[in-house]
Amino acid sequence: MPRFRYTAVGPDGRSLAGELEASDAAAAAADFGTRGIMLQSLDRLKEDGDGLLSSAPSPRAITRFLGELALMLRSGLPLDEALALSAQGQPARLGRIVLAVRREVLGGASFVQALERHPGVFTQDIVAMAKVADATGDLDGVFAAVAAQRERSHHLGEKVTGALRYPAFLIVSAVGVLVFFLVNVIPNFSGLFADSGSDPGALVRFVLALSDGLIANETNLEAGLAALFLAGFLAWRTASVRAALFAAFLRVPGIAGVWRLWRTARFLSNLSVLLGQGVPLTEALKVLQDAVGAEGRAMLATVGDAVRRGGRLHEALGTVTLLPPVAVRMVRIGEETGELSKVAGEAGNLYAVQLEKRLDGLAAVIGPTAILVIAGLIGGLMVTIMSALVSVNQAVL
């Protein structure tokens, strides 16, 4: 992710300067605006590894860093020593960022300020929890809770991708087998059909023409596939393209329901952790915009505005479709009993269990269905060719 050097004026009038990571200059400027900071200059930096293949540290690596930092702080190490030690076991890019945070802390910045200078790595939820920890003095306990919650979120995300990975592998494998069959097997039979002089049928003629077309345009097809892969790679790095592809993906039958369960479980679980650690509700709702996806961000912003005007959370949630009605009722129970954090956590666990059951059910259906469809296509193609060959032999005899 690109790095930028900036100068700015904070809400209190103090001059600020430093470096940060952001997807682009507009995203960096927008982040400053949400924090009430007036940006004066913003210059992109060139660094080692900057290019098409560079990327921000993985969410998993950040979670592992937070857990290790919490453990070191709990053992009694000062913050600067804990940062120095934890940086040694991280991927190179994250290690450099952790050391940069340490330098900023030693230079007089607060830990929260140092984290805020790297928004591409330390997201709003981490910064919000760091503010709570700074106020309570319980940095190790707060970050341990953050790491545990992020670990649960990673587990759910891996369940979702794992349920889709197997059928995707089957489909790609089937396409590869089909292309191999058309390029290497079918040409062996085309001469027999041509020599026989008989009509093998429309379907066989189509298969033979497809095989000849693949062989004749092999170089062009390879170049086209390479160009398509490169274009897809570049497009995927654009947030608007990813959002459009994700919106299209949600239209696949069964996927939208899985996404809603995952979004509900993640929202409620993260809300529970934030409130449990002392983050104000209005601030928690602002932080949680990163947990509900692009299409849920506008709805959550509406909810946050209603709560800031004095409305109840469950009433605001009832005006949008962010959560299912049952989840909204559970939020109402939590508000009425004064235990919103506890009830939200229990509800999040409930929806996480429902999500895992839904994924197990989808995996049990998608895998065999994909195998049957693939076997039907390839088997049907082979039966068609063999039937045509038998007909040719009978005509010759």
Domain-embedded: residue 226: yes
Q: Is the pLDDT of residue 14 over 80?
A: no
pLDDT of residue 312: 94
Q: Is the pLDDT of residue 105 over 60?
A: yes
Neighbouring residues of 215: CB distance < 8 A, sequence distance ≥ 6? 183, 187
Q: What is the mean pLDDT of the chain?
A: 82
Neighbours of 128 (CB within 10 A): 21
* Domain containing residue 353: 149-397
Number of domains the chain contains? 1
pLDDT of residue 50: 45
Domain-embedded: residue 246: yes
CA distances from 152 to 217, 252, 338 (A): 49, 26, 25
Q: Is the pLDDT of residue 46 over 60?
A: no
- Mind listing the pLDDT tens digit for each residue in 146-171? 888 888 888 888 877 777 777 778 78
- Mind listing the pLDDT tens digit for each residue in 320-344? 999 999 999 999 999 999 999 999 9
Domain-embedded: residue 313: yes
Identify the band that residue 196 occupies on the pLDDT scale cut at 50, 70 and 90.
low
- Mind listing the pLDDT tens digit for each residue in 252-264? 777 788 888 888 9
pLDDT of residue 52: 44
- Mind listing the pLDDT tens digit for each residue in 48-97? 444 444 456 888 899 999 999 999 998 888 999 999 988 887 888 888 99
Domain-embedded: residue 74: no
pLDDT of residue 1: 52
Q: Are 264 and 327 in contact (CB under 8 A)?
A: yes
For the entire predicted model, the pTM comes to 0.67
pLDDT of residue 350: 93
CATH code of 182's domain: 1.20.81.30
In this prediction, residues 8-19 reach a mean pLDDT of 74
In this prediction, residues 357-377 reach a mean pLDDT of 82
Identify the band that residue 220 occupies on the pLDDT scale cut at 50, 70 and 90.
confident
Q: H/E/C letters for each residue in the chain?
A: CCEEEEEEECCCCCEEEEEEECCCHHHHHHHHHHCCCEEEEEEEECCCCCCCCCCCCCHHHHHHHHHHHHHHHHCCCCHHHHHHHHHHCCCHHHHHHHHHHHHHHHCCCCHHHHHHCCCCCCCHHHHHHHHHHHHHCCHHHHHHHHHHHHHHHHHHHHHHHHHHHHHHHHHHHHHHHHHHHHHHHCHHHHHHHHHHCCCCCHHHHHHHHHHHHHHHCHHHHHHHHHHHHHHHHHHHCCHHHHHHHHHHHCCCCCHHHHHHHHHHHHHHHHHHHHHHCCCCHHHHHHHHHHHCHHHHHHHHHHHHHHHHCCCCHHHHHCCCCCCCHHHHHHHHHHHHHCCHHHHHHHHHHHHHHHHHHHHHHHHHHHHHHHHHHHHHHHHHHHHHHHHHHHHHHHHHC
Domain-embedded: residue 184: yes
Q: Are 99 and 114 in contact (CB under 8 A)?
A: no
Domain-embedded: residue 224: yes
